[in-house]
Chain A
Amino acid sequence: MTTQMLTYIVVGLTFALYIGIAVWSRAASTKDFYVAGAGVHPLTNGMATAADWMSAGSFISIAGMIAFAGYDGSVYLMGWTGGYVLLALLLAPYLRMFGQYTVPDFIGERYYSSSARVVAVICLVFICFTYVAGQMRGVGVVFSRFLEVEITTGVFIGMAVVFFYAVLGGMKGITYTQVAQYCVMIFAYITPAIFVSMLVTGNPVPQLGLASEVQDGSGLRVLEKLDQVLVDLGFTPYTDGSKAMIDVFTITLVLMAGTAGLPHVIVRFFTVPKVSDARKSAGYALVFIALLYTTAPALAAFARLTFIDTVNNTAYAEAPSWVKTWEDIGLIAWLDKNEDGTIQYAAGDAFEGAPVFVGGAGEHGQKLVENTPLDNTNEVYVDRDIMMLASPEIANLPPWVLALVAAGGLAAALSTAAGLLLVVSTSLSHDLLKKTLRPDITEKQELLYARGAAAVAVCFAGYLGINPPGFVAQVIAFAFGLAAASLFPAIFLGIFVRNMNREGAIAGMLSGLLFTAAYIVYFKFVNPAASTPDNWWLGISPEGIGSLGMMINFAVAFTVSRFTAQTPDYVKALVDDVRIPSGAGVAHRH
């Protein structure tokens, strides 16, 4: 059986499983559709949250990002896990106690204002679509790489599957498919990591392998060896960063606060029965996430080491077959600058931009590129995604592992896409329609609108996947920056500062939002050439600016709230009520 056949079978089986779960868990009421009837066990919810959170980007790209950034890659590791501490300690339990369906629900009621609710809905829809475009694209890319179908066809198949279980089952269907998707995803990630770790160090636990000796007789440990090899090739050492400390600090802060403020993650905590379950659930979620996020840096180091070892100073004709397979789809390219038939790998880009193949083959059989060569000795172009996707081949694993990686990538993309789409449809049917425009609709009508909104959102996401806006990579900074500068402070202040009023919160959200958006738009779209550390304000990159936006939000909110009308008593009572997990009433003296 060919690898491709096997991949079709594994992917087909997982899709059948997701659809089977969807049929079994149809939503009957709006409560089922929005929050899975609020009857999800905390452990189950933890697993679903992990799948919801870990996207195609986490699965496919994070190991490669760390492999090529070394220490600088730590911002993603700490940022995307540390946010759960904020979520568990500062937001999730109180939002669960508040007992509504959505994040804009909380903002709207806590700040007694439908304008605040609408501002929150706009932020949320923008953040979700930014994200979802990347997921649908990920689905298409996995299909085209492993199953050799057109990206467009791949996106259509992905859309059909998500459509089926999101529209039919709502949050209930999504929750249980996400549990299955987490299992597929983590198994697909850990298996190649274990084998690669054994291959490089002889230690089957990747996290421990990272601290073990390399099995090449040098007596050096993995990171020592990697530092040495990279310095020899003219790179900065793996364990040293090249980003400024303030930039690393602010980016980590944005990713943490952004994670805690992302609506599709928060809403998962509305599905457990009790406040104490919400706390536990965040802990379980982080355990499941940490499993992947502590493996990723190990996989990154092994893959980088093995890649250099296999490729550098190897005659192209003798290079392993995976080099050619990945060259075929443009993730690797080789430009024989010194015409010696041997691959030389060194610091710096081999040529400008991504490879553009001219169609012919060179004298050694390599695909020729027409890109302008750059003046250095490096001859290799390598896409960072390859560190994860090619790891089964780098470690010489059987074809079923490759099939598993394909299914894992799809699980990661679909689970995140479904979670995001549900949040969008909920905020349209519930926040915009039921709570703002047409409060008179019945529950049955609301459910129908929710399904309709989900269907429209899936189609729109598919459109974005097929015609991706050219700036998907840039807008990810946007999504986190906005969540950190608008939603996170608004929710935090709503719980912890009893006197925070409507005027303060709205002024804070808007100023944080506008500041962050203006900075990112200027450096990413208006004047990208000026985006260098010298021109950045205080040396903070557009990726990290949301943390300053968050500070501005807090400062403006406190100042404005001091000089405007007091929070009404019933809202202060609401805050007291939300702080108490037992649901006991609070007696207020007048």
Chain B
Amino acid sequence: MQNKPDHDNGNVEVYHHRGDNLPAHGSHDEEVLSEDRVKAYWRANVKLLLVLLTIWFTVSYGFGILLVDWLNQVSLFGFKLGFWWAQQGSIYVFVILIFVYVALIGRIDRKFGVDDSDTGSDREGERP
């Protein structure tokens, strides 16, 4: 993986898109990332998304719909299990999934030095 920015290479063009409502972001020491670094970051993000969306699918479409009859054979506190996943359980898991994503993607952001925190100091490697 290429970690160094290559400003000084004559064949490289640095792109910044413009917009009327660009988000605020931190001042990083290194304002230019290589294409490879972006690719690696994106691979890590997509991997995380796949895991979380598998859980998302399993609790709602899996437990709540496809396997509902099978799970309904089990009953806890008068709640048939499949029915509980469809009307309560899946919603709780959805909430947890979003906060887990926020935490884990934040960690990946810092690892790759692309987080939007106000200071660059909480990036890995610069931590005390």
Contact = CB atoms under 8 A, between A and B. Distances in A.
Interface of A: 30-31, 34-35, 38, 66, 71, 73-74, 77-78, 81-82, 84-85, 88-90, 96-101, 207, 210-213, 220-224, 239-240, 245, 248-249, 252-253, 270, 273-276, 278-280, 282-283, 286-287, 290, 293-294, 297, 496, 570, 573-574, 576-590
Contacts of B56: 82, 85
Contacts of A100: 19-21
Given A88-B101, A274-B25, A582-B26, A589 B87 contact: no
A99 B31 CA distance: 18
Nearest to B99: A283
A590 B11 contact: yes
Interface of B: 5-7, 9, 11-17, 19-26, 28, 30-35, 38, 41-42, 45-46, 49, 52-53, 56, 60-61, 64-66, 68, 72, 76-80, 83, 86-88, 90-92, 94-95, 97-99, 101-102, 105-106, 109, 113-117
A516 B38 CA distance: 37
Nearest to B86: A74
Contact of A578 (B7, B12, B17, B78): B17
Contacts of A84: 94, 98
A417 to B, nearest CB: 24
Contact of B23 (A78, A89, A273): A273
Given A239-B72, A585-B33, A273 B115 contact: no
Given A297-B87, A574-B17, A211 B114 contact: no
A585 B86 contact: no
- What are the nearest 3 A-B pairs in CB distance? A221-B78, A99-B19, A99-B22
A189 to B, nearest CB: 15
Contacts of A582: 25-26, 28, 109, 113-116
B23 A583 contact: yes
29 contacts: A38-B23, A71-B83, A78-B60, A78-B64, A82-B60, A84-B94, A85-B56, A89-B101, A96-B23, A99-B17, A221-B77, A221-B79, A223-B78, A223-B83, A239-B83, A252-B60, A275-B25, A283-B95, A286-B98, A287-B95, A573-B17, A574-B15, A581-B114, A582-B113, A585-B15, A585-B31, A585-B33, A588-B14, A588-B35
A583 B25 CA distance: 6
Given A31-B21, A213-B78, A221-B79, 12 more contacts: A34-B21, A99-B21, A223-B83, A273-B23, A276-B106, A283-B98, A283-B102, A294-B92, A576-B35, A579-B38, A580-B33, A581-B109
Nearest to B53: A89
